[in-house]
Amino acid sequence: MKKRVLVLTGGGDCPGLNAVIRAIVKRASQEDNWEVVGSIQSFDGILREPKEITILDEKAVSGIHFRGGTIIGTTTKGGPFEWPVKKDDGTWEFIDRSDEMIEELKKMGIDAVISIGGDGSQRISKALQEKGLNIIGVPKTIDNDLSATDFTFGFQTAVQIATESVDKLVTTAASHNRVMIMEVMGREAGWIALHSAIAGGAEVCIIPEIPYDVNKILDKINQRFDSTGKGFANIVIAEGAMPINGDTVHRSSNEVGYKNKIFGGIAYKLQEQLFDAGMQWDSRVTVLGHLQRGGVPTAYDRILASEFGVKAFEMVLEKDFGKMVAYRHPNIISVPFDEAISKYNLVDQNSYLVKTARGLGINLGD
């Protein structure tokens, strides 16, 4: 009987997930005795009755490397440790089904699991590994906020989409003499904002790592307009940004089992603050949202995702379990889960990237 590796994608999707799945399957098909099985919507596919699993062979993954999303689906809710169950009174309770799931995987003849996911998924993987599951993590997120890896796949694609959006906003800003404020994703990290502001030539870039002073931003904007009101300015602001002595704009979700903060709206708040501070120029807001997560991955992300997929399967062969794949230039390595989830990767204010932004005259709100 063939050995079996289970593959699943968890957390928010990002461009490149399918390229990882394809790489795992292609590498596994070079071995005589391995079969790849996909679980639909992370571990939910195993926990549902009936199970939702699918055989991932070369035919199933043919040509998927440039497709966004994930062919096996994903979820940001629930999971084996917090499975939602509706009670008679209509409220929900969350139960731990991890032991039952591990037993189920044994019955299915699963020898190893590759879990492709962000921070939350890596934490689940670590807890399952501590219960004896042979599991390997593959990091993904457009936010690029995992510190164990130089880059996550999906990030470059998000930056490309955000940069092209700045390019578009520049021409309309110039035509109308407007101040354009574009909000990008990234949670508590300013990577997408900073990269797209530099690449797109924005005048102002606001990131969570540097709380902003609205008056400093207004000074920069005013320098961009002449006495007749001719001029324009482009601002890129990260969704997790906040004013000095202020808070982020976020809310909680009413979706059952969804625990993350939902960011969104800081661009509108900044616009209001600019008007309150005396801004005279016309202004419009664009919240880029999930456009940053969809569509075709860039070549860079396809390559990084493929490297991660091949490495993950080679770790299965080497029984290098309890670890996450990571990119440390120029190598693809494996790091223990503990290290993988120990800290976030935030923008270092002393980095050359920040220095570059300042060197280009980009105002960082400080």
Q: What residues between 106 and 135 interact with ligand F6P by CB under 6 A?
A: none
Residue 86 Cβ vs ligand F6P, minimum distance, rounded to whole Å: 21
Residue 50: cis peptide before it, omega within 30 degrees of 0: yes
208 binds ligand F6P (CB under 6 A): no
| Integer Cα distance of 240 and 211 in angstroms | 10
Structure tokens at 109: 């003849």
Residue type, 132: G
Residue 164 Cβ vs ligand F6P, minimum distance, rounded to whole Å: 18
Residue nearest to ligand F6P (CB): 185
User: Angle at Cα 34 formed by Cα 33 and Cα 40, nearest 5°?
Assistant: 155
143 tagged catalytic: yes
| Integer Cα distance of 138 and 90 in angstroms | 37
Active-site pick, 13, 44, 143, 145: 143
288 binds ligand F6P (CB under 6 A): no
142 binds ligand F6P (CB under 6 A): yes
- Residues listed for the chain: 366
Residue 262 Cβ vs ligand F6P, minimum distance, rounded to whole Å: 6
Please, which residue, 56 or 185, has the CB nearer to ligand F6P? 185
Helix, strand or coil, per DSSP, at residue 164? helix
Beta-ladder partners of 202? none
Residue 330: cis peptide before it, omega within 30 degrees of 0: yes
Q: What residues between 40 and 79 interact with ligand F6P by CB under 6 A?
A: 76
User: Angle at Cα 64 formed by Cα 58 and Cα 69, nearest 5°?
Assistant: 130
Residue 322 Cβ vs ligand F6P, minimum distance, rounded to whole Å: 24
Please, which residue, 78 or 322, has the CB nearer to ligand F6P? 78
Give the residue, chosen from 12, 139, 190, 322, that forms a contact with ligand F6P under the rule CB under 6 A.
12
Give the residue, chosen from 186, 208, 243, 297, that forms a contact with ligand F6P under the rule CB under 6 A.
186
For every residue of 99-147, DSSP letters joined together read: HHHHHHHHHTTEEEEEEEE-HHHHHHHHHHHHTT--EEEEEB-TT--BT
Residue type, 64: I
Give the residue, chosen from 185, 274, 279, 354, that forms a contact with ligand F6P under the rule CB under 6 A.
185
Please, which residue, 80 or 186, has the CB nearer to ligand F6P? 186
Give the residue, chosen from 143, 183, 209, 307, that forms a contact with ligand F6P under the rule CB under 6 A.
143
Helix, strand or coil, per DSSP, at residue 53? strand
Q: What residues between 241 and 270 interact with ligand F6P by CB under 6 A?
A: 262-263
Residue 12 Cβ vs ligand F6P, minimum distance, rounded to whole Å: 4
Q: Which residues are catalytic?
A: 143
Q: Which residues bind ligand F6P (CB under 6 A)?
A: 12, 76, 141-143, 185-187, 239, 262-263, 293
